[in-house]
């Protein structure tokens, strides 16, 4: 007898789970940095326009593919067209690659959260703390393991008892924490060693007021490509996740509304992350503080900002890292689910078995990633010029190469092979209107693939002038 597929019990559960996947480290450590670098409000406007067009197209497509086929990424594409199995294979390899290094970073976040929780925030702000931690041989592995265990536990419990119920608790708390920290950030002021007093509100202005100074066409193009790359990563598309989550959505659910809500949630948190981070960094470090992004912003610059806040800094740091931990857990569980559901559908095995297999793969590869800063240390130069260790190499291959390829393949499959009507009909199946239909067809057939090819060429280092 065929077992019935699990499904989210309601649309709220689905929206929160998908938003949980979308809201992740990218929203927190990259969006604010790009906004500060790319002319504040100018970046925000470009990002918003892209979210409503390009992001909406990719997100709708993947969720609809999942719901229509009721299959995981590995098997969904071949169900649409039998010659397109290879696309499913790459879409499934992406989360397999991402999972180990996402858990390694999740472990770093856990370490910082524990440091602040136990009142050791000032130590975490000292020079060399972060490097000392990641280059030690045992601690990062233990932290990674704890993070992975928490995520695997949720996935073992399944779609309803695991993913849906944890998202319903975590996401509202996460939003609350973001709002609290953002409001706090707007109220601070500080007089630096240079005698200049800066306030959070001034920092907020730098963030939201568009800066057109010295803007050239080439410069605008680079803002556009930055915003596109960020959006693409932020919505968790092209990594099989939204196909997997889409396959658990009931046929009578209103997809248009859910897709809008996921986009609003993700964009709002990204925007609020900027309200949290930019005014605080600006107040305590000036705009130079915003030159860092990624791990160095989160694990080096921000602890210094918290330390400069004095006593309250430890509490703010603790709330901040709790929030980041929540964001990372909900993203990691979506990555793991994409792989687990693929193994279940392809090999007809139980959830427990599939989760054990993926858990072991992530564990072994995760240890290798952690040791990449220690026993297995080496340096290579990537085509985009960055000096990389194992983690960066995996990140580069998945985000910069495989993900654009999956997205381009999806656009060609839907736009030209099976035709956009398949997605439109799926969205409209439950009687809801596909709002931006006029936009969807040209977008999926022509505009999105062109934008994605530009993104791929840029991230592969083939075009370097943007």
* In the complex, minimum distance from the CB of residue 92 to ligand PHE, in angstroms, rounded to a whole number: 13
Within 372-412, where are the H helices?
A: 390-395, 403-412
CA dist., res. 295 & res. 134, Å (int)? 11
Instruction: Using the minimum distance from each CB to ligand PHE, give the nearer residue, 21 or 57.
Output: 21
CB of 299 to ligand PHE, least distance (A): 16
Given the complex with ligand PHE, which of 100 and 121 has the nearer CB atom?
100
Measured from each CB, the residue nearest to ligand PHE is 24
Q: Which two tokens stand for residue 280?
A: 């605080």
Give dist(CA 72, CA 247) in Å, integer: 7
Query: Contact, 165 vs 17, CB < 8 A?
Result: no
- Please give the distance of CA 79 from its chain centroid, rounded to a whole number: 27
CB of 241 to ligand PHE, least distance (A): 6
C-beta of 46 vs 285, nearer to ligand PHE = 46
Closest contact distance (angstroms) between CB of 308 and ligand PHE is: 27
Long-range contacts from 263-266, C-beta under 8 angstroms, 24+ separation: 263/51, 263/52, 263/55, 263/56, 263/59, 263/235, 265/15, 265/19, 265/22, 265/23, 265/171, 265/175, 266/19, 266/22, 266/23, 266/27, 266/234, 266/235
Considering the complex, state which of residue 284 and residue 320 has its C-beta at the smaller distance from ligand PHE. 320
Closest of 67, 65, 57 to residue 14, by C-alpha: 67
Could you tell me if 286 and 198 are in contact, meaning their C-beta atoms sit under 8 angstroms apart? yes
Nearer to ligand PHE by C-beta: 62 or 426?
62
Identify which of residues 22 and 448 has a Cβ nearer to ligand PHE in the complex. Answer: 22
CA distance 449 to 444: 7
Length of the chain: 466
Q: What residue ranges in 185-233 does DSSP mark as E strands? A: 189-191, 197-199
Q: How does DSSP assign 32-97, residue by residue?
A: HHHHHHTTBHHHHHHHHHHIIIIIHHHHHHHHHHHHHHT--HHHHHHHH-GGGHHHHHHHHHHHHH
CB of 307 to ligand PHE, least distance (A): 26
Q: Kindly state the smallest distance separating residue 236's Cβ from ligand PHE, in Å.
A: 4
Query: Hey, what are 428's tokens?
Result: 């409209």
Q: Please, what is the minimum distance in Å from the beta carbon of residue 127 to ligand PHE?
A: 27
Closer residue to ligand PHE, CB minimum distance, 104 or 125: 104
* Assigned token pair, 78: 């071949």
Q: Report the alpha-carbon distance of residue 167 to residue 178 in Å, rounded.
A: 16
Cα–Cα distance for residue pair 206/257, rounded to 1 Å: 33
If the CB atoms of residues 19 and 65 are measured against ligand PHE, the closer one turns out to be: 19
Q: How far is the CB of 148 from ligand PHE (least distance, A)?
A: 14
Positions in the binding site for ligand PHE (CB under 6 A): 21-22, 24-27, 98, 102, 233-234, 236, 239, 331, 334-335
Question: Could you tell me the smallest distance in angstroms from the CB atom of residue 232 to ligand PHE?
Answer: 9
Element (H, E) at 117: helix 85-117
Q: Whole-number minimum distance, CB 51 to ligand PHE, in Å?
A: 12
Please, which residue, 21 or 71, has the CB nearer to ligand PHE? 21
Nearer of residues 331 and 410 to ligand PHE, judged by Cβ:
331
């Amino acid at each position: 007898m065929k077992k019935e597929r699990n499904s989210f019990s309601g649309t709220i559960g689905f929206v929160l789970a998908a938003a949980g996947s979308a809201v992740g480290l990218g929203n927190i450590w990259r969006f604010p940095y790009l906004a500060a670098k790319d002319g504040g409000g100018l970046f925000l406007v470009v990002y918003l326009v892209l979210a409503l067009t390009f992001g909406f197209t990719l997100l709708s497509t993947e969720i609809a593919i999942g719901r229509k086929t009721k299959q995981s990424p590995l098997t969904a594409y071949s169900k649409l067209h039998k010659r397109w199995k290879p696309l499913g294979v790459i879409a499934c390899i992406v989360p397999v690659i991402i999972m180990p290094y996402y858990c390694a970073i999740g472990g770093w976040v856990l370490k910082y959260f524990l440091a602040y929780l136990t009142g050791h925030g000032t130590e975490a702000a000292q020079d060399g703390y972060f490097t000392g931690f990641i280059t030690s041989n045992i601690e990062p592995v233990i932290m990674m393991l704890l993070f992975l265990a928490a995520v695997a536990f949720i996935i073992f419990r399944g779609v309803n008892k695991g993913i849906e119920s944890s998202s319903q608790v975590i996401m509202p708390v996460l939003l609350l924490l973001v709002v609290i920290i953002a409001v706090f950030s707007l109220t601070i002021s500080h007089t630096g060693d240079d005698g200049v007093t800066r306030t959070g509100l001034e920092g907020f202005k730098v963030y939201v007021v568009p800066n057109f100074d010295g803007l050239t066409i080439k410069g605008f193009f680079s803002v556009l490509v930055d915003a596109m790359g960020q959006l693409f990563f932020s919505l968790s598309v092209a990594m099989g996740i939204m196909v997997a989550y889409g396959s658990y959505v009931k046929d009578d659910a209103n997809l248009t509304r859910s897709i809008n809500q996921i986009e609003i949630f993700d964009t709002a948190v990204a925007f609020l992350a900027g309200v949290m981070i930019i005014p605080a960094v600006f107040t305590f470090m000036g705009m130079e503080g915003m030159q860092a992004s990624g791990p160095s912003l989160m694990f080096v610059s921000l602890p210094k900002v918290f330390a400069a806040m004095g006593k309250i800094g430890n509490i703010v740091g603790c709330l901040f890292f709790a929030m980041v931990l929540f964001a990372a857990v909900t993203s990691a569980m979506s990555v793991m689910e994409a792989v687990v559901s693929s193994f279940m559908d392809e090999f007809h095995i139980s959830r427990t078995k599939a989760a054990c297999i993926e858990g072991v793969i992530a564990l072994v590869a995760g240890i290798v990633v952690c040791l990449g800063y220690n026993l297995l240390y080496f340096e290579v130069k990537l085509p985009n010029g960055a000096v990389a260790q194992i983690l960066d190499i995996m990140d580069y291959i998945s985000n910069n190469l495989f993900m654009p390829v999956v997205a381009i393949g999806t656009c060609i499959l839907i736009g030209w092979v099976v035709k956009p009507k398949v997605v439109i009909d799926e969205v409209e199946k439950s009687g809801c209107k596909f709002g931006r239909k006029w936009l969807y067809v040209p977008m999926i057939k022509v505009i999105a693939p062109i934008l994605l090819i530009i993104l791929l060429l840029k991230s592969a280092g083939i075009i370097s002038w943007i």
